[in-house]
Amino acid sequence: MKIIEQLVVGKKSQEECEDGIIVNENLAAVIDGSTSKTPIRMNGLCSNGRYCMELIKNCINSISSDIDVYGFCQYMTKSIYSKYIDLKIDVERLKLHPEERLTASAIVYSSKLRQVWMIGDCQCLVGGCFYDNPKPYEQELAEQRALFLREAINNGITPESVSIKDCGRESILPELVKCCRYQNVSYAVIDGFDIPMDKVRVINVDEGINELVLASDGYPFLKPTLDESEAMLASQLENDPLCMNTFKATKGLMAGNKSFDDRSYLRVGI
C-alpha cells in the first residue's frame, strides 16, 4: 500500500484529538475514538476516546498479517477488555453503563483480503462508490437537535451563544447516553465487549480498483481528494457552523474550535 495523502485534525487541538490513522504492510485504518458522554476517565492523561484510539493503533501493529474481519474484531475486543482488567475497572458496572467504556469506531482495509471492514460510524470511497455505517439513532437525534435550535433561535437565543453553550446538544444528551446501551447490540463499536458481526459492514474491493479513501465522520461530505473534502467542510463551517441545516449533526462548531468534530482522511493506493 502507498499513502497518497492523509490528514488528522483535532476539533480543539492535536493533543486532544480522538481520531488516528495507522498504515502498515497489511492494514490501513482510520480510528475514531468516541466523544465522551461522561466525565469519568480511565487514563488521567487523556479522554477515553483518545485512549481507546491509541490502544487500537498499538494493537494493529501487533496483529497477525493474515487475520480476517472476525479475528480482527475478536482481537480488539480481547485487548480492550484486558485493559479494563489491568486497570481494575469494574466490568460489571461497564455492562450497565456502556457510556463509561473505552469506545471507538474503526474502518480498516486489509491488503491481503482486499476488504474494507467498517466497525461503527465511519465512511469510505471504494471505486468511486460511497459507503457508510451510521449509528441507527444518530440522524433522528440530529434532527431533534436542529429543531430545538431553530425554535431557540426564533425565541431570541443567538447563534453566537449556541457556539459557546450548545443548548441543542444538551437537549439530546440524555438520549445520546441512553442510546449507548445499544452499542454492540444494534450497532457495532470496539469497546471490549462482543461485537455483533452482522453489524460490521464488509466491502470486497475488486481487483481493478487501485485506490480508496477511508475517513472518520468528521467529514460531512467525503470526496475523492483531500482538497475537495476539506473545501466541502470549510463551506459547511462557513455557511452552517451549528450543523443544523445543510448538514445536521448531534454537535456543531464551538467557539475557538477548528471544526464540529475531529477528522481523519486517508487515501491509499492499493
pLDDT tens-digit series, residues 226-268? 999 999 999 999 999 999 999 999 999 999 999 999 999 999 9
Burial class (CB in 10 A: 0-12, 13-18, 19+), 31: buried
Q: How confident is the model at residue 40 (pLDDT cuts 50, 70, 90)?
A: confident
Length of the chain in terms of residues written = 270
Instruction: Supply the pLDDT for residue 13.
Output: 96
Task: Match 439513532 to its residue by C-alpha cell.
Answer: 137
Instruction: Supply the pLDDT for residue 91.
Output: 96
End-to-end CA distance of the chain: 5
Please report, rounded to a whole number, the percentage of residues in the chain having pLDDT higher than 90: 94
Q: How confident is the model at residue 44 (pLDDT cuts 50, 70, 90)?
A: confident
| Residue 29 predicted with pLDDT over 90 | yes
Instruction: Supply the pLDDT for residue 39.
Output: 84
Mean pLDDT over each residue of the chain, to the nearest integer: 96
What number is the average pLDDT over the span 10-29? 97
> In terms of Cα–Cα distance, which of 98, 88, 108 is closest to 193?
98
For 30, 90, 96, 127, 214, the CA distances from 267, given in Å and listed in that order, are 10, 39, 38, 12, 6
Cβ distance 251 to 169 under 8 Å?
Answer: yes
Distance CA 113, CA 83 (A): 29
* Class of CATH domain 2-136+181-243+254-269: alpha beta
Residue ranges of domains in the chain: 2-136+181-243+254-269
| Residue, of 40 and 56, whose pLDDT is higher | 56
Strand ranges across the sheet with 115-119? 19-23, 27-33, 104-110, 115-119, 201-204
> In terms of Cα–Cα distance, which of 123, 137, 221 is closest to 180?
137
pTM for this one?
Answer: 0.95
